[in-house]
Amino acid sequence: MHGVDAKKDPNRVVIFDTTLRDGEQAPGFSMGAAAKLEMARALTALGVDVIEAGFAAASPGDEEAVRIVSGEVEGPVFCSLSRATESDILAAHRALSHNRARRIHIFLGTSPIHRKAKFNMTADEVLAQAVRAVAFARTLFDDIEFSAEDAIRTERAFLGDVMEATAEAGATTLNVPDTVGYSTPAEISDLFRYLHGRIAPRFPDAVLSAHCHDDLGMAVANTLSAIQGGARQVEVAVNGIGERAGNCALEEVVMALRTRADQFGVTTGVDTTKLVGVSRLLSRLTDSPIVRNKAIVGINAFAHEAGIHQHGVIADARTYEIMLPQDVGFDGTSFVLGKHSGRHAVAKRAAVLGHEISENLMGAVFAGFKRRADEIGEISDSELVAIIEAAYAENEPPPQRYAAAN
C-alpha cells in the first residue's frame, strides 16, 4: 500500500520523505540528478509513500532532477515544493508531468514574524494568497499539500482559519511545520488535537501532517507526539538531514512506532530491514559519515564493549537491546574489544582467531590487552594477535598448533 492508498487506513501513517528536498537543501548534502535517482530507487524499495524530489522553481537543475526522478521511478507519489505563486506552481507541474502519481507542496509563511519580515502582509492578505495559490494548483493537480510555514509560531485560531480555507480550496494534506524546531511534545500534540477538531468534521479525508525540525533536539519526540494528536503523515529525512540541525530522522520515527506499537498503535509501510542500507547509501552519496552513536543506524547501535554488557547480551540480548539488529538491516550484534572488556570476551575472541590461551598465560595476555586498549581504544583482531604473540614471547613458547601456523 503506497502513497495515497495509505490514507484509507485510519491507523496507517503516511511516510513523506524529504531527504531529496529539505535534506538536500542543507549545507553539505547537495545532490545532483544521478544521486537523487539512486536515492529515490532506494527510498521506493524502503517503502516510503511520498518522495519530495526537490523544489522545481529553485533552479533549472532542481527542476530537471524532479523531472528525471519522477519520470524514472514508479511506486510512491512524487512531489515538488512550490511557493504560493503561479510561476512556481507551473514549474512544479512541468517537472512532474511524466508521472501521474504527483503532488504539489505549496508553502507560505503564516506566523507574525514571517508575515511582517518576509512579506509585509496582513494576516488576511496571507490567507487570501494561500487560498488563491491552492485554487490555482487545483486546476492542475488532484493531490495538493499546503504548508503553513512556521505554523508553530502562528496564532492558533488563525492557523485553523488557514487550514480550513486551504482545505476548502482543494488542499488534501495540511502540513504543520515546526520550521524552527521550537515546539515541545506536549505543545504539539495539543495543537494537533485542536486542528483535528476543526478540520476532521468538515474535511474527513484531509490528512494532517507534521514536519519537525531538530533545533532543540526534539524533532522525533515532537513528530511522535503529533501522531498522538492526530497527524497521519510525517515528514522525515534519512539520517535526519535537513535545514540547520535537520529534520525528524526517518529511521528513528519508524522504529519508535514499531518498537513502541503499544504506545502509538499505528503502522507504516516501511521495510525496516532496509534502513541501514539506505542510511549508508545517503552517507556515501553525500560524503557525510554517520556518527557512530546515531540511533538505529550508527555502528554503535548494536555494539557492546563493556564486559558487563557483553556478558548480559551473550546470556540474553534483551538485557541491553530493545530491537533485533537484523530488523534494521545489521547482520547481528557486534562485540568490540576495548579497555572495558572482560577476560571472558578476550579469551572468546582469541579462540575465534585460533588461539586457545592457557590459564597461566591469560594473565599476561589480559594485562597486555588492557595496556594497549588504554593507548589506542578499540582492539582490532590484528592488535589482539600481536598482544598474544608478545605474551608468548615473554612467557612461554607458543603451543604446537600456534607455532606451526607461524
Locate 20 and state its grid cell: 531529496
Residue 217 is given by DSSP the state S
d(CA 369, CA 387): 6
Least distance CB 213 / ligand KIV (angstroms): 6
- Cα separation, 199 vs 39, whole angstroms: 34
181 scored as a contact of ligand KIV (CB under 6 A): no
Q: Which of 47, 170, 177, 246 binds ligand KIV (CB under 6 A)?
A: 177
Sign of CA dihedral 254, 260, 263, 268: positive
- For residue 344, the tally of other CB atoms under 10 A from its CB is 12
By a kind-dependent CB cut-off of 5 to 8 A, residue 147 interacts, out of ligand KIV, Zn ion, none, with ligand KIV
Stretch that binds ligand KIV, among 69-77, 175-183, 316-324, 386-394 (CB under 6 A): 175-183
Scan residues 151-170 and list those touching ligand KIV (CB under 6 A).
none
Rounded to the nearest 10°, the torsion over CA 259, 263, 266, 270 is -20
- Rounded to 5 degrees, what angle do the CA atoms 368, 374, 379 make? 70
DSSP state of 4: G
Q: What is the smallest separation between the CB atom of 170 and ligand KIV, expressed in angstroms? A: 18
355, 386 Cβ separation under 8 angstroms: no
Residue 214 found at the interface with ligand KIV (CB under 6 A)? no
Q: Is 147 one of the binding residues for ligand KIV (CB under 6 A)?
A: yes
Give which of Zn ion, ligand KIV, none residue 145 binds (C-beta under 5 to 8 Å, depending on kind): none
Indicate which of ligand KIV, Zn ion, none lies near residue 111 (CB less than 5 to 8 Å, by partner kind).
none
Q: Is 52 one of the binding residues for ligand KIV (CB under 6 A)?
A: no
Determine the interface stretch with Zn ion among 22-30, 61-69, 78-86, 123-131 (rule: CB under 5 A). 22-30
* 3-class secondary structure, 171: coil
- Residue 22 makes contact with ligand KIV by CB under 6 A: yes
* Secondary structure (3-state) at 11: coil
The binding site for ligand KIV (CB under 6 A) comprises 22, 81, 107, 147, 149, 175, 177, 179, 211, 213
Which residues lie near Zn ion (CB under 5 A)? Answer: 22
